[in-house]
A and B are shown apart, each in its own frame.
Chain A
Amino acid sequence: MGQGIRTKGTVVAAVVAALWLMPAPAAQLGAAPEDMPTPRTADGKPDLTGLWSGGGGGNLEADAEGNITVLSRGRPCHPGQECAPAVNFERDSGVRQRMDPNLPIYKPEYWEQVQFLDVNGNLQDPHGKCYPDGLPRIGAPNKIVQTDTELIFLYANKNTFRVIPIDGREHHPVRSQDLTYYGDSVGTWEGDTMVIDSVGFTDWSWLEWPGYLHSNNMRVVERITREGNTFTWQATVYDDYLAEPWVMNPVRRTLNPDQTELLTEDLPCEDRDLANMHTRERG
């Protein structure tokens, strides 16, 4: 072996990364809210500004021979179980998502379409085609910049940004009729909770995997409440296809302790897999 780099201990990083990929229970996310007071702007409103979650890195080191070994850990297989590397992650996450009792309830006339998208998800999922995830699938923002009149949301996902007026204006008459992935948004304060109302969506995005479609008349209401060094983001979906509004599971984000950390560029998405799918198995 030549000179260079070999890394052990990356299992830890992989496990951390796996946790990052999954919605974590609130109890796992950082310090308690009372660890710091909620910062407020001059007008007394909570200040949502900050880099939320993220940070850290691989911290890889090579071994004496220069070799690098990066391990991705999934669920171990029981002795005797027929198993191969990397067969567990998507299956486990799929089971976990299907077991969530909080699912959108569709009107009967859309059941067949949802099931079709589910069983053909590998080919139908707009995420797999490199389309924007859209709202609400993209989830909570990774960075927020708050001014007196605007919220700017930045996402570590396809370099996505949203500019959300909070100056009391109504929806824009033209943009609210547009067909976009993130809609036309306006925000207002309800006490210490920022409420963001968005309309003007395309129907090309999914609410979530597997196959939760929506119409282009969808309305999404996000609620963000900051308490100390955490915020809770929760979206409610109102749509003609749904039998009732879908109140999605809340997501908690913790303030990155290193606010000098940067939200870096996300690289382009280019699908080269869909033409080579052997099965439709996703999870």
Chain B
Amino acid sequence: MKALKVLGAAAIVAMVMAVGFVSAPPVAAHHAIQAEYDMNEIGSFTGKLTRFAMINPHVRWLFEETKPDGTVEEWEMSGAGPGALRQAGLVRIFKVGDVYDVTFAPAFNGANLGRVRQMTFPDGRVVTLFHEDPTSEEAQQLNQ
């Protein structure tokens, strides 16, 4: 892991929630995201995707990060429900074996686990799957 550093909330973009309709169960989230992840922190690593699991209630990406000393560290990233990615047609864009730069909100318990924020693909594409900054100007306009 390169670093865990605090970035301003304004740096955060946004994310998927449930764009799924027919395929998304109409159930409320079963726990608060901040009950598991520190939404004020941003972690990062570069790792090879080893498994992309389309499962409920949250999709998972598993990575292997090869450290400078040759040791391998495993990472697990969580996302929204699978309905969001399915409806968005994003399921097959993640390729096992490709190396991604990943940023995430880290789990409080120190495990190599996080709520994914952003993945940069080998070709430079950036996929952001996160939550909107609720303090942003755009969000504040909703209060007008």
Interface flag for B39 (CB, 8 Å): yes
A73 to chain B: closest residue by CB: B132
B123 touches A4 (CB 8 A): yes
Q: Is the CB of B21 within 8 A of A56?
A: yes
Q: Does B140 contact A (CB under 8 A)?
A: yes
Given known A72-B15, A267-B56, contact A273–B31 (CB-CB < 8 A): yes
Most B CB atoms within 10 A — which of A57, A65, A279? A57
How many residues of chain B have a CB within 8 Å of chain A?
Answer: 71
Q: Is the CB of B87 within 8 A of A83?
A: no
Q: In the complex, A64 Cα to B78 Cα: how many Å?
A: 27
Beta-carbon contact of B27 and A127 below 8 Å: yes
**Contact at A85–B130, with CB atoms within 8 Å?**
yes
Q: Which of the four size classes fits the interface of chain A?
A: 35 or more
How many A-B pairs fall under 8 Å by CB? 260
Per the bound structure, the CA–CA distance linking A11 and B46 in Å amounts to 28
Taking CB atoms, residues of chain A closer than 8 Å to B78 are 272-273
B32 pairs with A282, CB closer than 8 A = yes
B98 to chain A, nearest CB (A): 13
A84 adjacent to chain B (CB < 8 Å):
yes
Asked if A71 and B132 sit within 8 Å, CB to CB, the answer is yes
Q: By the criterion CB–CB under 8 Å, are A281 and B125 in contact?
A: no
A residues 1-18 with Cβ under 8 Å of B? 1-5, 7, 10-11, 13-14, 17-18
Chain A residues with CB under 8 Å of B1's CB are none
Give the 3 A-B CB pairs with smallest separation, nearest first: A71-B14, A86-B131, A72-B17
Show the binding face of A for B, using Cβ within 8 Å: 1-5, 7, 10-11, 13-14, 17-18, 20-22, 51, 54-58, 60, 65-79, 81, 83-91, 93, 97, 121-122, 125, 127-128, 130, 133, 139, 142, 155-158, 209, 261-273, 276-283
